[in-house]
């Protein structure tokens, strides 16, 4: 990326910091000027899946768009990095509308409204607590995922429709 003026550089640095990439970028030979791919430049670097996801988040934050669309933004992150994203996401997205697409339902805990979809159809909508109380497909899938993390999580019968 071409960084030709100080305000632009400060915005880049802020977006990288907010996305959790600032320390990594500081280690690169050309810092923020380093090409983030080898597809177009031989002197570029190859990012891991998690680094690529953080870079996409940094780009969205840099753009300062009023709407953020995040499709499986933590899928390639380890549990620690995923937690860091969740911890800071509410602040990063403050004042914005976010569409957060995920199969990992732990990420829904901080969402204002959840739309649980299957085959393009909205099956359930509400807050996490409302959907758990409704004991529908969302609750079933959430309990299936959480049982590996919580010893007290209830057993959920298998459902071939998931």
Residue 153 has what pLDDT? 47
- Cβ distance 18 to 61 under 8 Å? yes
Helix (H) or strand (E) holding 98: strand 97-101
Q: Are strands 121-126 and 114-118 parallel, antiparallel or unpaired?
A: antiparallel
* CB contact at 8 A, 60 and 52: no
Provide the pLDDT confidence category of residue 161 given band limits of 50, 70 and 90. low
Q: What are the tens digits of pLDDT across the range 100-151? A: 888 888 778 878 899 999 999 999 999 999 999 999 999 999 999 888 776 6
Q: Residues 34, 15: contact at Cβ < 8 Å?
A: no
The answer to whether residue 52 is domain-embedded is no
pLDDT at 95: 86
Q: How confident is the model at residue 144, as a pLDDT?
A: 92
Q: Are 107 and 86 in contact (CB under 8 A)?
A: yes
Q: Is residue 49 a part of any domain in this protein? A: no
Per-residue pLDDT reduced to its tens digit, 79-101: 787 777 777 777 778 888 888 88
pLDDT digits (tens, 9 = 90+) for 3-54: 567 788 899 999 999 888 999 999 998 888 888 888 888 888 888 887 888 8
Question: Does 159 map to a domain?
Answer: no
Spatial distance between the Cα atoms of 78 and 63, rounded to a whole number of angstroms: 26
- Note whether residue 22 is domain-resident: no
| Residue 80: inside a domain | yes
- On whether residue 87 sits in a domain, the answer given is yes
User: Domain residues for 132?
Assistant: 65-149
How many folded domains does the chain comprise?
Answer: 1
Q: Within a domain: residue 51? A: no
CATH of the domain at 79: 3.40.50.300
d(CA 83, CA 104) in angstroms, rounded, equals 12
134 lies in some domain? yes
Asked if 153 and 147 touch (Cβ cutoff 8 Å), the reply is yes
Over pLDDT 70: what percentage of the chain? 90
What pLDDT, on the 0 to 100 scale, is given for residue 23? 94
């Amino acid at each position: 990326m071409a960084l030709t003026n100080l305000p632009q550089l400060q915005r880049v640095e802020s977006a990288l910091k907010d996305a959790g990439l600032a320390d990594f970028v500081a280690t690169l030979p050309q810092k923020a000027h380093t090409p983030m791919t080898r597809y177009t430049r031989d002197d570029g670097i190859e990012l891991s899946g998690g680094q690529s996801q953080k870079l996409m988040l940094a780009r969205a934050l840099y753009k300062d768009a009023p709407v953020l669309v995040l499709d499986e933004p933590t899928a390639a992150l380890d549990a620690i990095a995923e937690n860091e994203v969740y911890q800071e996401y509410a602040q990063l997205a403050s004042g914005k509308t976010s569409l957060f697409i995920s199969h990992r339902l732990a990420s829904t805990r901080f969402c204002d409204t959840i739309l649980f979809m299957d085959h393009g159809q909205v099956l359930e909508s509400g807050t996490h607590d409302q959907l758990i109380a409704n004991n529908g497909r969302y609750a079933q899938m959430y309990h299936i995922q959480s049982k590996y993390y919580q010893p007290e999580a209830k057993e959920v019968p298998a459902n071939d429709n998931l």
